[in-house]
Structure 1
Amino acid sequence: MNMKRICILACIVIAGLTSCKKFLDTQPTDFYTTTNYYSTETQLQQALNGVYGDLMRPELYAQVMGFNFVSTTDEVMSNRTADGDARGLRYNYDASLVHIASIWRYAYVGINNLNTLLDNIDKPTMDASRRNIIKGQALFLRGFLYFILTSNYGDVPVVLHTPAINDVNIPQVKQADVYAQIEKDMKEAEVLLKDYTVTQAKFNDVVTLTAVQAMLARVYLYWAGYPQNNTAKYQDVITYTDKVILSGLHALNPDYRQVFINLATDQYDVRENIWELGSLGAAAGVVNKSGNDIGNFVGIQSALTALDSTSYNSAGWVWVTKKLFDAYETDPNSAVMPNKPSLDIRRDWNCANYIYSGTNPRTKAARPNPWQMCAGKFRREYVPQAIRNTNGVGGTYNINWPMIRYSDVLLMRAEAENYVNGPTNAYNYVNQVRKRGYGLMNGNVVKSITMVNSGDGYTKVPAVTITGGGGNGATGTAIITSGKVTGIYLNSPGALTLGSYYTTPPVVVIGTFWTPGASYTTGTQITNGGILYTVTTAGTATNTPPVNTSGASDASVTGAVFTYAGTAATATATITTGNESDLTPGLSKDAFQLAIRDERMRELCFEAVRKADLIRWGSFVSDMQNFASWATANGAGVTSTGNPNGLQGVRNVSARHVMLPKPTYELNLNRLLTQNEGW
């Protein structure tokens, strides 16, 4: 392995330098070795920090792990051609691709550094509880890196100590045995970190007790699925998700969107995000790390320009799928076309229906076709101005990566419960996630706005104001077709904080009402007495309201002239009833499992778990083949409105893509490695 070559070379250099100086009988002072390092608590912590920092390398979670090999599924597809193939996006890669080697190489570099740390963990004199925290985190991270390796490459070598100079060829271990080692490391870490929680750490970009338990639940979930199919592990999923749930340390953020805004604005949400990987600019956690590509390739397209202080840089190299867009429930009573408003807040956050184009000026352009909507979950527009850099070139970004969230724990709990005991007691967990998705965690929100009268004569889009009902924060946009207000697109169902929910339907006002004494400019449209007027002469209105004269100028005001334009539009609002988001009751075990699969896509899209989910369900290849047929029939191949490049990537999927190939470079170094089937 490459990491062993690094170690071997280092040992050779050190041996050469010290052998010619034996007569001095001194320790080196101008460079570090295992002999003169790891001698203090500070040095142990620095070594651990280095591994945390390396997790946010471009070769791991700063780019590759969240983008390269997970960006063509049924929820998201690359829009690239040649670039997509060079980065592994369209399943045209082989074992020699540099990004194939990156995951392997840097996972083992991390493991080697952790092994060296663990080999020297007892060296310094220090507080035992502090030593346990460092050792527990190191053991967990080693298990986690092996989890990355085995879930991507299958059977891999397991190295638990710093390799000796002659350890060149190390055999790979069966995946079941790799899982057993991961379990051993993480369970030992759980014991060592038993008193180290997010309450004590105050940050979630370090490993705490519930991070270990949540990730161990994910390990068991993968172990239970394909290719191991060790279904006894579902009971372990229940055990470990219950530990997280019953700890009382974690909860859903009432606003799904805020979870990702917090990641962009350096706000730690230790209750929702059980473990996240920190990046540049984050609050003072373990270590300040470099910037990353989160929100770039998988983000809303925009160019960075010094002429626009709100600008940011994002390539937007993937688009969502119509399957994902259609998976979110819409308002059946809405007349808005072509895309009805969704009752699920997650849709319009995850499926961004706009891009930014140009640089001088930068303009916002609509993207109404789902096949060409950007992945909107990680939004760089929320990144602090000082970090994203507006000098017209480059740009540095700080968004943290959400490694595992509380909603995932709830969905894992529901899936495992359904497998072991059936769906009866599993509903509670999935419905918590759905209630948050619909904005109903703490009360009712605006559900729908229905047109009572579409009016006529509108030449401009009127403002929509939603007030009363005991709540606030609901907003909408009028849709104008041939001078009529044909619908109201509900942009937000309301503010999702305690005290801002609705108890009765609010009042919807379309347009601006006539105000006595106000000044009006030419072209302004106002409403009075159910009539729409257009200001044809600028001026100030008197206290006498305009009178409908069926098209003639109204002379009852001084200065401003109001001309009849048509009938004013009106609409009414309805609010939710608190349980409308709940999953359909009475589902069979199989139907509930299918519902969980869709819910995981709606909740966790673009968080690099969909492909792994499809693989562990044993349906990756067949699902991609079926999706390719569905996507073709539903417009994905149309150049002007679809995503033919992404569709081709889906069509390229075959059985060999269940696992990544072992890197060619590593096979040449370690003769005991065996290439995965199909490569």
Structure 2
Amino acid sequence: MKRIYLFAWIIIAGLSSCKKFLDTKPTDFYTPDNYYATEAQLQQALTGVYGDLMRPELYAQVIPFNFTTSTDEVLSNRTADGDTRGLRYNYDASQVYVGNLWKFSYLGIANLNSLLENINKPTMDSTKRNIIKGQALFLRGFLYFTLTSNYGDVPLVLRPLGINETTIPATPQKDVYAQIEKDMKEAEVLLKDYTAAKLGYNELVTISAVQAMLARVYIYWAGYPQNNVSKYQDVLTYTNKVVNSGLHALNPDYRQIFINLSKDAYDVKENIWELGSFGAAPGVVTKGGNDIGNFVGIQSGIVAADTTSYSSASWVWATKKLFDSYEVDPTNTATPLKSSLDVRRDWNCANYIYSGTPRVKTARPNVWQMSAGKFRREYCPAIIRNTNGVGGAYNINWPVIRYADVLLMRAEAENYLNGPGNAYADINLVRRRGYGIMNGNVVKSVVVNNQGSGYTVAPAVTISGGGGSGASGTAVVTGGKVVGIYLNSPGALAPGTYYSSAPIVVIGTAWVPGTAYTVGTQITNAGNLYTVTTAGTSTTTAPTQTSGASNAAVTGAVFTYAGVPATATASITTGTEADLTPGLSKEDFQLAIRDERMRELCFEAVRKADLIRWGNFYQDMQTFAAWAAANGASVTATGNPNGLQGAQNVGTRHVLLPKPTYELNLNRALIQNPGW
């Protein structure tokens, strides 16, 4: 199913020509002299770099987790382990993950430099050569973007190095950005007609990936610390290229984006570029997997007898700030949590975990303790999810850049350059998708008209009619009354499933003659609520309330009058209810963009970089930490004091990672970053 990881990775990085002993060329191992002789070898070298991007030291763990998941949207729930992994801002220059991110980025660059130096060596079709060269140039720029956005000034190496070339001073970040721009623009020309639509998958770098990533490079360049605001025009230019290509569009169902990633199903319109994992082909369970959906995922353990089970540690939890940023239905009376009008909230902030043996779905109503639910291993193919009670090799792809990000970057650049007028269209499109109403109406709210009485268990809620489908809700019972309906889903989000009118809501289960009932079952009939007190099969005689609170028995099952059924009414959206408040100032629109990026892109490893480029990462985190402490994060039973401690640890030096100790010892020309 994964198209690109077909070859064994042969490390040929860092090799240089050397004096030949007795002028004999090696024949039993590869060097740059006897490699790159064929198109297949060029492709194999390129494939190896793609594969290494999904190493644990890069996108299989560190980039989506270690240094990006303690911000105002997500916090670690770990103590000592959080420190050793870098989750709580207690790392230093000697920490292994700090060093590995540097090392494996440069390993990829070394291999790409060797590939590019030998790109013209084999005789082959020029179009195919250009495709390989374009991808290699882009990936080199991408790895330098990874390095400079994490470490600041870094050595810029654009050719294979000799074994003694170890003293290389760091290049100023603005010049690193200039080289990234040069590599990616050259890649754009070489990959002109190379699209994911033609390939049918998006694990390779295509023209859209280049253009979308250039927009991200420019928006970082425009922000802190370079503050080259002229680059906002380039952001606009390159986001326009992606949008105007007609190749990309939002998936109408936000949830489906991440279900597709788990199921190994390609969405080439929404996901512009995703990194493929190491093999989820049918029948393959022993390939190396990744930690996507594990540390950042919904807690669960493997249970041998439960083939639906999966393993996820859930080592980070969502924050109350993120949860509260999603709009709630003001008319909803469900407690302790109101339903949200935004589909994204309950997907991203999971209000349940799986626990115990047998595995049970357990409610998590405390907002500070909700799992980060975006990447859900429960949707992975069973063959890699649970193998005879042993954790499988999970292979969720990583979405490097999505179309929604392009739209939000375009809105941000447009607002900076020209004000919010034309920027509303992009942010509102993202918001409408988030509310599920990009293409039609969904159920907005279910209001309880009559709470009823006599309920000992939560009754079923059925939503039907109205021309749509897929809406579902859960009744909340307190004191024998239905006090609210929690809307689990506003409806299916696909053509033919939207609502043209308000659907009918039925609370409870209607009596059906000839049905076998068990003790405790509650049913309704003729406006009355009954509880089964004697098990059996009902006759054709309906239960009736014979006198006040007396019994209503028939042959077989015995029904006792319990009370009055609850009733509820649904309302649907009108099509514009998701839109951002019109008439905002330029400054307020920028703040709205910041919140929308958090709602849309949470847990996708961009929030920390966003906070940094907006120029006040340290103060923003200190402000958030104080707010979190005052709003329940410090309470052990219901909050996340470990995560709060991590937020409080943030210092001014944390805008950059330290340059690794081992590299400083080797390369004496390097200067450590400020504060380290």
The TM-score normalised by the length of structure 2 is 0.96
> Which of the residues 279, 285, 306 maps onto 1:281?
279
1-side partners of 2:390 and 2:521: how far apart? 41
Corresponding residue of 1:350: 348
1:524 CA displacement? 1.4
2-side partners of 1:677 and 1:110: how far apart? 27
Instruction: Report the residue type matching 2:643 in the other structure.
Output: G
1-side partners of 2:646 and 2:532: how far apart? 55
Corresponding residue of 1:211: 209
1:6 CA displacement? 9.4
> Which of the residues 219, 222, 240 maps onto 1:221?
219
Matches within 5 A, 1:450-469: 450-469=447-466
SS in 2 for 1:513: coil
> Which of the residues 361, 386, 389 maps onto 2:386?
389
Corresponding residue of 1:60: 58
1:158 CA displacement? 0.5
1:344 CA displacement? 0.3
C-alpha distance 243-283 of structure 1, shift in aligned 2 (>3 A) = farther
SS in 2 for 1:526: strand
Corresponding residue of 1:553: 551
Matches within 5 A, 1:634-653: 634-653=631-650
2-side partners of 1:281 and 1:36: how far apart? 29
Corresponding residue of 1:367: 364
Matched-pair contact (CA < 8 Å) for 2:331–2:445: yes
Deviations 1:134-167 (A, max 9, x none): 0000000000000000000000010111012332
> Which of the residues 439, 443, 448 maps onto 2:436?
439
Matched-pair contact (CA < 8 Å) for 2:12–2:31: no
2-side partners of 1:281 and 1:7: how far apart? 24
5+ residue gaps, structure 2? 1-10
2-side partners of 1:426 and 1:106: how far apart? 39
Matched-pair contact (CA < 8 Å) for 1:139–1:188: yes
Kindly indicate whether residue 591 of structure 2 is the aligned counterpart of residue 594 of structure 1.
yes
Corresponding residue of 1:244: 242
Instruction: Report the residue type matching 1:667 in the other structure.
Output: L
C-alpha distance 122-534 of structure 1, shift in aligned 2 (>3 A) = same
Size of the alignment, in residue pairs? Answer: 662
Deviations 1:383-405 (A, max 9, x none): 11111233333431010000000
Corresponding residue of 2:115: 117
Corresponding residue of 1:186: 184
Corresponding residue of 1:542: 539
Corresponding residue of 2:84: 86
Corresponding residue of 1:571: 568
Kindly indicate whether residue 67 of structure 2 is the aligned counterpart of residue 69 of structure 1.
yes
Corresponding residue of 1:128: 126
Matched-pair contact (CA < 8 Å) for 2:60–2:292: yes
Deviations 1:99-142 (A, max 9, x none): 10111100000000000000000000000000000000000000
Matched-pair contact (CA < 8 Å) for 1:266–1:283: no
1-side partners of 2:544 and 2:508: how far apart? 18
2-side partners of 1:93 and 1:28: how far apart? 44
2-side partners of 1:149 and 1:486: how far apart? 53
Matched-pair contact (CA < 8 Å) for 1:320–1:372: yes
1:282 CA displacement? 4.6
Deviations 1:452-473 (A, max 9, x none): 1001101111111000000000
Matched-pair contact (CA < 8 Å) for 1:281–1:387: no
Kindly indicate whether residue 388 of structure 2 is the aligned counterpart of residue 402 of structure 1.
no
> Which of the residues 317, 339, 342 maps onto 1:341?
339
2-side partners of 1:103 and 1:546: how far apart? 70
2-side partners of 1:535 and 1:391: how far apart? 41
1-side partners of 2:386 and 2:502: how far apart? 44
C-alpha distance 261-523 of structure 1, shift in aligned 2 (>3 A) = same
2-side partners of 1:273 and 1:631: how far apart? 33
Matched-pair contact (CA < 8 Å) for 1:621–1:653: yes
5+ residue gaps, structure 1? none
SS in 2 for 1:412: helix
Matches within 5 A, 1:580-591: 580-591=577-588
> Which of the residues 190, 195, 198 maps onto 2:196?
198
1:670 CA displacement? 0.6
Kindly indicate whether residue 629 of structure 2 is the aligned counterpart of residue 664 of structure 1.
no
Deviations 1:300-324 (A, max 9, x none): 1111121211111111100110000
1-side partners of 2:450 and 2:391: how far apart? 51
Matched-pair contact (CA < 8 Å) for 1:512–1:527: yes
Deviations 1:456-491 (A, max 9, x none): 101111111000000000000010101111111000
Matched-pair contact (CA < 8 Å) for 2:287–2:393: no
1-side partners of 2:360 and 2:555: how far apart? 39
Corresponding residue of 2:229: 231
- TM-align CA RMSD: 1.5
> Which of the residues 313, 319, 322 maps onto 1:321?
319
Corresponding residue of 2:4: none
SS in 2 for 1:571: strand
Deviations 1:337-378 (A, max 9, x none): 1110000000000001111112x2112211101100000000
1-side partners of 2:582 and 2:599: how far apart? 19
Percent of aligned pairs sharing the same letter: 73
Matches within 5 A, 1:135-146: 135-146=133-144
1-side partners of 2:425 and 2:391: how far apart? 46
1:422 CA displacement? 0.2
Matched-pair contact (CA < 8 Å) for 1:351–1:373: yes
Matched-pair contact (CA < 8 Å) for 1:455–1:484: yes
Matched-pair contact (CA < 8 Å) for 1:278–1:289: no
2-side partners of 1:6 and 1:113: how far apart? 7
SS in 1 for 2:68: coil
Instruction: Report the residue type matching 1:525 in the other structure.
Output: Q
Corresponding residue of 1:501: 498
